[in-house]
Amino acid sequence: MAGTLTFLLISSLLQGALCGTFNVTMPQNINVLRGSCVTIPCSFDVESKFENNLDDTCKACWSDSTSFKSENAKLKPTKEMTGDLTKKDCTTTFNNANLLKSTKYYLRLECDNTLKYTFTKAGVDISFIDDPPLPTLTPSTLEVEEGASVSLTCSAPAPCWSHPPALTWSPNLGQSQETLQENQDKTKVRTSVMSFTASHLHHGNKISCTAVYQKQDGSPDVTAEASLTPDISYSPKNITVSVRPSGPVPENSNVSLTCSTNANPAVRNYTWYRADGDQETFIGTGTSLNIKVFRDRRTFFCKAGNEIGDGRSSSIQIDVQYSPKNITVSVSPSGPVPENSNVSLTCSTNANPAVWNYTWYRADGDQETFIGTGTSLNIKVSRDRRTFFCKAENEIGVGRSSSIQIDVQYSPENITVSVSPSGPVPENSNVSLTCSSNANPAVWNYTWYRADGDQETFIGTGTSLNIQCLQRQTDIFL
């Protein structure tokens, strides 16, 4: 990772020389967060003849002067603060950075033998800062299509290896994994990789990574944040239809439908459909559409498409209001009923809003007689009062059913006999007798009789009867 991206702001080149001679490798520059600890990565080499002098008696000292000895060294780290000098590791951690000042420091190696050397050809410039630099996000911009797998990397310098910064993601969109990585110059950075699947919900919403640095001098923690705003391409989502005017509208009214959606890139095509049961009928294009609505054509939806894909809205049903239609009367019991029976009449209709008033009438020729109210009506029927209809009324208007005639049945009544020729006839003349009657159902049997005093003699059947009149055969009845 580039030195300019680290908290230590270290130059990209390290100081050092070939093995076999006295040389030291360390960063040229380190910016130290005030009140925090700091680790100086350091390694060295000695002349070959001093290799055997590297033992447990060796000590590392730091000073801002090239001409110093251990006696006048300003910084004398303990063994716990340094690496293993016998392995040429002079890495030093200062838990109390207040011991340092903004200047250049040099390393001196002193052992309880002939090995004593100040590395004057290379030093580290120490500078103090009050605020940490921003973490680094990789990639710095995010432009992907919905459904793509995304990995974001957040890196923050770890100036003190024992107390690296804590990294948090906001929002936390998936699994994250943290590591402590080493740069080319041996400095370290804290890295967190968050992996997730891109969603349209992420589009335009800031994703940030925050580094929290804990100070060792007891002062409050300090934070630094880096963020990006993802650009997620996705097909139309949350497609809705709005109607103007809103609320109920009268049948045959003109309304305006508007299709709304979220999409990236923008929608390039809107299409409109009318839902007729299971059928979908194309009716137009455009963000908005003006239409005339009917009670049986009031369900609509739209489709929206962009370069990524298409989406469809839910169906919207417009509240189309109309006066009562298709008004019918049903009778219970159905079919023929005896005269003077009780029957129940029921009025049915389609209406929006619902019918609030039903009225019943009996049709007496050209006269209409009001007989009651309500959806159903119980009445007694007779053969001359058997035709009925109903009216249904809502806020929009009134409608009337067709008249229904109940089949009222009754036995033969008003039975009469007519003679042809009428008037007096000569003895032994032939005459025709005709029987007439009112009945429902129709008469299916006529029988004729001659009355002989108290005697009744059967003489024939049928609506009409031809007989010869004798002087003593004058009384005929049906």
Q: Provide the CATH number for the domain formed by 234-318 in this structure.
A: 2.60.40.10
Spell out the domain ranges in the chain.
Answer: 3-129, 234-318, 322-406, 411-477
pLDDT tens digits, one per residue of 391-435: 999 999 999 999 999 988 888 888 899 898 887 888 888 889 899
Higher-confidence residue: 251 or 95? 251
d(CA 346, CA 340): 19
What's the mean per-residue pLDDT of the chain? 89
User: Cα 13 vs. chain centroid, distance in angstroms?
Assistant: 55
As a whole number of angstroms, the distance between CA 159 and CA 396 comes to 81
Q: Measured between alpha carbons, how far is 457 from 450 in angstroms, rounded to an integer? A: 5
Question: b/e per residue, 230-262, with b = 16+ CB within 10 A?
Answer: bebbbbbbebebebeeeeebebeeebebebbbb
Q: Which fold has domain 3-129?
A: Immunoglobulin-like (2.60.40)
For 44, 54, 139, 183, the CA distances from 12, given in Å and listed in that order, are: 19, 30, 21, 10
Using a pLDDT cut of 90, give the percent of the chain over it.
Answer: 60
Provide the 10 A C-beta neighbour count for residue 169.
Answer: 17
Residue 324 neighbours by CB under 8 Å, 6+ apart: 349, 350, 351, 355, 392, 393, 394, 397, 398, 399
Q: Does the structure show a pLDDT above 90 at 302?
A: yes
Do residues 265 and 307 make contact, with C-beta atoms less than 8 angstroms apart?
yes
Contact 466, 431 (CB under 8 A): yes
Rounded to two decimals, the pTM is: 0.68
Residue 100: beta bridge partners? Answer: none
Checking if the pLDDT of 356 tops 90, the result is: yes
Find all residues with CB under 8 Å of 355, minimum gap 6, and list them. Answer: 324, 349, 392, 393, 394
Over residues 451-468, mean pLDDT: 86
Q: What pLDDT score does 464 carry?
A: 87
Alpha-carbon distance of 259 to 256, in angstroms, equals 10
How does pLDDT run across 157-210, given as a tens digit for each residue? 998 888 899 999 999 999 999 999 988 888 899 999 999 999 999 999 999 999
What is the model's pLDDT at position 476?
Answer: 57
Fill in the amino acid letter for 339: E
In order of 424, 431, 467, 474, the CA distances from 427 in angstroms are: 10, 11, 12, 10
Check: CB of residue 155 under 8 Å from CB of residue 125.
no
Residue 70 has pLDDT above 90, yes or no: no
User: Which residues have C-beta within 8 Å of that of residue 221, sequence separation ≥ 6?
Assistant: 212, 213, 214, 215
**Contact, 110 vs 102, CB < 8 A?**
no
Supply the pLDDT for residue 217: 82
Confidence of residue 477 (pLDDT cuts 50, 70, 90): low
pLDDT in tens, 40-62: 999 999 999 999 999 999 999 88
Omega prior to 135 cis, within 30 of 0: no
Average pLDDT over residues 454-473: 80
Q: In this predicted structure, what is the pLDDT of residue 266?
A: 96
Confidence at residue 11, expressed as pLDDT on a 0 to 100 scale: 31
The topology under which CATH files domain 322-406 is Immunoglobulin-like (2.60.40)
Give the least confident one: 153-157, 282-286, 430-434.
Answer: 430-434
| Radius of gyration, CA atoms only, the chain | 55
234-318 and 322-406 share one fold: yes
3-state SS, the chain, equals CCHHHCCCCCCCCCCCCCCCCCEEECCCEEEEECCCCEEECCEEECCHHHHHHCCCCCEEEEECCCCCCHHHCCECCCHHHECCHHHCECCEEECCHHHCCCCEEEEEEECCCCCEEEEEEEEEEEEEECCCCCCEEECCCCEEECCCEEEEEEEEECCCCCCCCEEEEECCCCEEEEEEEECCCCCEEEEEEEEEECCHHHCCCCEEEEEEECCCCCCCCEEEEEEECCEEEEEEEEEEEEEECCCCEECCCEEEEEEEEEEECCCCEEEEEEEECCEEEEEEECCEEEEECECCECEEEEEEECCCCEEECCCEECCEEEEEEEEEEEEECCCCEECCCEEEEEEEEEEECCCCEEEEEEEECCEEEEEEECCEEEEECECCECEEEEEEECCCCEEECCCEECCEEEEEEEEEEEEECCCCCCCCCEEEEEEEEEEECCCCCCEEEEEECCEEEEEEECCEEEEECCCCCCCEEC
The answer on pLDDT for 214 being more than 60 is yes
> Are the C-beta atoms of residues 333 and 378 closer than 8 Å to each other?
no
Q: How confident is the model at residue 273 (pLDDT cuts 50, 70, 90)?
A: very high
388: CB partners within 8 A, 6+ apart = 329, 345, 360, 361, 362, 363, 371, 379, 403, 404, 406
| Residues 330-357, mean pLDDT to the nearest whole number | 94
Distance of CA 30 to the CA centre of its chain: 53
